Structure 1
Amino acid sequence: MHFDLKEIIQSFGYVGGYLVIWGIIFAESGLLVGFFLPGDSLLFTSGFLASQNLLNIWILIAGAFICAVLGDNVGYITGKKFGRSLFQKEDSRFFHKQNLIKAEQFYEKHGKKTIVLARFTPVIRTFAPILAGVSEMTYKTFFTYNVIGGFIWTFGLTIFGYFLGKVIPDVDKYLLPIVVAIIIISLLPSIIHLYGERNQKK
């Protein structure tokens, strides 16, 4: 991802780079088809590129935060408007009902904290705001947790990438392994959950 993103920035300038990053963050947070997008690694990589003066770190974070919050709001509205009909929808190329069910189970276990915790769990972060709408969580409560989670996620991962880019000489040599590690770590909760489910069925 970081090579493609760097090429986009170099080809289209600051504006093109920002729009791609912010668009992906918004889609992953608020659109059903966005569950496969690499939000965690994208934020880290964009933070690293900002440390190399290809992006402005504060503009980057501000836009990512706004798009993450807006994306979750779209998910919440989708869940509230279409409600349980989403669970009755047949699987298609982009929609898999099981993903929504997993998000519901995650939501039941962690309650309101899900809006924050889900930010760091791929797939779950796409469907958690939808479940908040389906369950008719009050908008004030949802918005509060949405802002907190969106800030921690966007600020934390982006600054982490920026910090490593500034303090570690030639960190770009290790960027790919770091990104892979972030992806694996972000997938661990889902893997552990699936492993636990399998053991329970035995």
Structure 2
Amino acid sequence: MIEALVDLMHQLYDVKSLIQWGGLALICLILFVETGLFIGFFLPGDSLLVTAGIFAAAGHLDLGALLVFGSLCAIVGDQVGYSIGRATGQALFRREDSRFFKRRHLERAKAFYEKHGAKTIVLARFVPVVRTFAPAVAGAAAMNYRRFVFYNIFGGLLWVWSMVLAGYTLGSAVPNIDQYIHYVIAVVIVLSLIPGVWEWWKARTQP
């Protein structure tokens, strides 16, 4: 069981192979699941988008389609998460842990929301795990729907476009970048973890 789980995680974080195998359709599916469904909290959104941008620079993906459909799936995913939170309300926070749902992740997103308010919908896009649960927290907190939609669209566009174009720029500037793709992915993962670690550290050091 453990070996199978480790193998699954290895395959999921081998984003180069994922893109080569599933192309734009799989990228869009992963973006939607990570942002809209609780089971997607472990998916590699940041590194996936940067790597997709590198592939677009190499001509393996259409940049325009990647930006448009990637943004659309990220936005729709958050809308689904908001709807789940709005429908379940505070009962969501009493839900028991399961294989694909950990209440501690929800509580972390709640603390993030309580600190940053509506801006959470934008900021959480760049924080792994929090970005999966933040829309549901906003829905459970009955955040104004029009306000949520505004921040959702802005945050979705900012996240997808910044990550994809960063990868595209890198792929265009560095010859044979595909030979070093695993190093790029490692750097992206580390950078994406910094906001969450910083929030954790501040929470631990506050009197």
- TM-score of the aligned structures, taking structure 1 as reference length: 0.92
Q: What are the Cα deviations for residues 12-68 of structure 1, in whole angstroms up to 9, with x where unaligned?
A: xxxx41110000000001001000000000000111111111110000110000000
* Cα separation, 1, equivalents of 2:198 and 2:146: 32
* Cα separation, 2, equivalents of 1:189 and 1:127: 16
Letter in 2 for 1:115: I
* Cα separation, 2, equivalents of 1:168 and 1:83: 48
* Cα separation, 2, equivalents of 1:81 and 1:60: 31
Poorly superposed stretches of 4+, deviation over 6 Å: none
* Cα separation, 1, equivalents of 2:20 and 2:76: 27
Aligned to 1:162: 168
Aligned to 1:76: 82
Letter in 2 for 1:56: D
Aligned to 2:92: 86
Letter in 2 for 1:21: I
- The offset of 1:199, in angstroms, is 3.8
- The offset of 1:118, in angstroms, is 0.3
* Cα separation, 2, equivalents of 1:17 and 1:24: 11
- The offset of 1:194, in angstroms, is 2.5
* Cα separation, 1, equivalents of 2:165 and 2:204: 37
- The offset of 1:192, in angstroms, is 2.2
Which has the larger displacement, 116-125 or 178-187?
178-187
- The offset of 1:196, in angstroms, is 3.3
Q: What are the residue-to-residue correspondences of 1:32-111 with 2, within 5 Å?
A: 32-111=38-117
2:119 aligned to which of 94, 113, 124: 113
- The offset of 1:200, in angstroms, is 4.7
Aligned pair in 2 of structure 1 residues 6, 69: CA closer, same or farther (>3 Å)?
Answer: closer
* C-alpha contact (below 8 Å) 2:16/2:51 kept by paired residues: no
Aligned to 2:150: 144
Q: What are the Cα deviations for residues 91-134 of structure 1, in whole angstroms up to 9, with x where unaligned?
A: 11111111111101000111111000000000000011111101
Q: Secondary structure of the equivalent of 1:25?
A: helix
Which has the larger displacement, 32-41 or 188-197?
188-197
* Cα separation, 1, equivalents of 2:15 and 2:74: 20
Q: What are the residue-to-residue correspondences of 1:116-135 with 2, within 5 Å?
A: 116-135=122-141
Tell me, which stretches of 5 or more residues in structure 1 are unaligned?
A: 9-15
* C-alpha contact (below 8 Å) 2:50/2:165 kept by paired residues: yes
Letter in 2 for 1:140: R
* Cα separation, 2, equivalents of 1:46 and 1:64: 10
Tell me, which stretches of 5 or more residues in structure 2 are unaligned?
A: 1-13
Q: CA RMSD of the aligned region, Å? A: 1.3
1:4 matched to 2:34? The reply is: no
Which has the larger displacement, 110-119 or 181-190?
181-190
* C-alpha contact (below 8 Å) 2:36/2:81 kept by paired residues: yes
Q: Secondary structure of the equivalent of 2:98?
A: coil
Aligned-pair identity in percent equals 45
Q: What are the residue-to-residue correspondences of 1:168-183 with 2, within 5 Å?
A: 168-183=174-189
- TM-score of the aligned structures, taking structure 2 as reference length: 0.90
